[in-house]
Amino acid sequence: MSDDLQAAPPASMQPPARRVRGRWLVLLRDGLALAALTLAVLNVASVQRNRSAQAVLAQGEEAAVRAQTVVNLNSSLVQLMAKTAVEQQDVALRELLARNGVTFQLSTPSQIPAPPQATAP
């Protein structure tokens, strides 16, 4: 055998300082592996928590969109009822709207602005 290819002596034949350093390195390696594994598990848990929070947020956004749709529909319905009350001169409908806090003003034809007229060249 050549001097360059000699195998390392067994741990029992190594000097005590080298054995202690080797054990310390093994413990450090194992500790770092355990820390990496712990961080990976914590990352997975964090991702799951984030997905759950996103699902709750999406449900809230969906509810807000539905509520806005109802508000728009309600506004259109009240405007239509007020217009009908005026056009049909329905006193009962006017009173119903007033009891529910809906007030409106009648506009006379003189208050409505005339559309702009095009001028001929």
Domain regions of the chain by residue span: 15-99
Contact of 19 with 11, CB cutoff 8 Å: yes
* pLDDT attached to residue 112: 53
* pLDDT attached to residue 21: 74
Q: How far apart are CA 90 and CA 101, in angstroms?
A: 17
* pLDDT attached to residue 5: 63
Q: How far apart are CA 41 and CA 47, in angstroms?
A: 10
Q: How confident is the model at residue 103 (pLDDT cuts 50, 70, 90)?
A: confident
Planar angle of CA 76, 80, 86, nearest 5 degrees: 150
pTM for this structure? 0.48
**Number of DSSP helices (H) and strands (E) in the chain, helices first:** 2, 0
Q: How much helix, strand and coil, in percent to the nearest 5, is found in the chain?
A: 70, 0, 30
